[in-house]
Structure 1
């Protein structure tokens, strides 16, 4: 039984609130929701009565949220996305539908690495279809809230707003260089060996956790790295050095030759370990996701 004093938000009204916040005007939001502006305004006032605080600052001409309104908006999207995911799951269960579990991953995590990370789920649930989908890091949040991916994988450690996350794996980094690079014939390298060699990244500093992670590694080792931002997205990281033969790229490929010997992967004496973070909607449950995050043999 539901406790008599339990307060619940009306999700339909919460959806209207999110649309209102994301629209230029209340009139535009009302049109999108197929409501009159008067009806939407009344609904928003009812929402404020439900939460017992003002969520809009009505002293301004345009829609402006109060601190309480920002807090409500911050959590509303994940609640609505979880609600939609649950409804879809219930309906599919009733029809006996087994929907593919979609793993979204940033280009910093290779398809081979994704396969290794989902292997525990494959082994424990062999009949569950799983789809891996590479997407740009900036799209991961959007696709989770749209229920287009079930779990998102990226290089990161920070806790994202409105999502649940866990760092559940670390990958050893190495460097890739072209075959005639001065580091190509080394059995291993140390961080100071990279001084003077540009490093290829896929996003500028402070725009990507992975870029910041690599910069931080170099600075801890006592030097300021020179960066080249590669405009080619979605291809294996080791291919970047063919475009920039004077540079190196941090990779997770095993040491040895690639691209028919055109590229060489060299290990570090003391390798940096790059984290793999899984992100998903809060208040959702998934046996596939749990198996991934637990890892093998757990």
Structure 2
């Protein structure tokens, strides 16, 4: 049995007339009659009762009609879904993101895309820049929100923001009343910082800024995510230097202050492989860039 034969049969049943069905399918009436005859031979039983003057189904034809209608509907659905997938309106988008992207960059990316293409399934995974670089190179991610530089070759990069370094202080800290804080003012403070193993570039750059200010930070606790760092600062374990934007907090617990020094900022970038031909990725880039 061929799909076109099932479609011809369903159209005849819907129209109740072979001539009207032929017009709807843009074929001649003899052609349509031959398709139905071939279908009956393939099924092995008559589907139409030809002993009557009006068009009527046999009992077997009624059973076949229900299944054939479902078959045609599902076939049409498969074709429609395939075309939508080709246009990037259907499929899966795999996004990696560094934790500092959760406060502005990730919502700013996903909000407009989700509104425009609600049928695309989005898979998001928190990953360091190093892990995202490897995943992008291995085609395990479609796009990354990360802090350059990217070690993987053949990547396209679009900078989304330039983010400054902020001081995070316990709410009752002696420096909390200042509008700006100098790095030198933190020389004797205990520090809570990102662990180097999870982000060596960020860790080394922050420590380098401190050394340029005349001291090496006394790190009493390391953490892998910004929420933990902020919680430790609130617990008065130490101060920290964090890349903006930062988690919202009650100023009685944690206070953020800009630095007095004019330091280089950090890029937040959208990164993807030039070799990635995913239509969904193309839709994302067209929507947000």
Provide the TM-score with structure 2 as the length reference.
0.55
Match of residue 227, structure 2, among 235, 239, 243: 235
Counterpart contact for 1:156–1:210, Cα < 8 Å: no
The answer to whether the 8 A contact 1:162-1:282 is kept is: no
Which residue is 1:189 aligned to? 181
- Could you tell me which runs of 5 or more consecutive residues in structure 2 were left unpaired when the two chains were aligned: 1-81
Structure 1 residue runs of 5 or longer lacking an equivalent are 1-89
Task: Find the partner of 1:135 among 110, 127, 145.
Answer: 127
Q: Distance in 1 between matches of 2:244 and 2:206?
A: 13
Cα distance, 1:288 vs structure 2: 4.5
Q: Which residue matches 1:249?
A: 241
Determine helix, strand or coil for the equivalent of 1:216: helix
CA distance in 1 between counterparts of 2:110 and 2:205 reads 24
Please tell me whether the aligned partners of residues 200 and 241 of structure 1 are also in contact (alpha carbons under 8 angstroms): yes
Q: Does 1:208 align with 2:203?
A: no
Give the 3 Å change call, closer, same or farther, for CA 240–132 of structure 1 in structure 2: farther
Alignment-derived partner of residue 175 in structure 1 = 167
| In structure 2, distance between residues paired with 1:106 and 1:99 | 23
Q: After superposition, where does 1:109-148 map in structure 2 within 5 Å?
A: 109-117=101-109, 121=113, 130-145=122-137, 147-148=139-140
Partner of 1:5: none
2:253 alignment partner in structure 1? 262
The structure number with the bigger radius of gyration is 2
Across the aligned residues of Structure 1 and Structure 2, the Cα RMSD in angstroms comes to: 3.8
Structure 2 match to 1:287:
282
Determine the C-alpha separation between the residues in 1 that align with 2:146 and 2:86. Answer: 33
Query: Aligned pairs, how many?
Result: 204
CA, structure 1 residues 253+219, in 2 after alignment: closer, same or farther (shift >3 Å)? same
Q: Is the 8 A contact 2:89 2:283 kept in 1?
A: no
Secondary structure at the counterpart of residue 238 of structure 1: helix
Q: CA deviation at 1:117?
A: 4.8
Residues in 2 aligned to 1:152 and 1:111: alpha-carbon distance in whole angstroms: 15
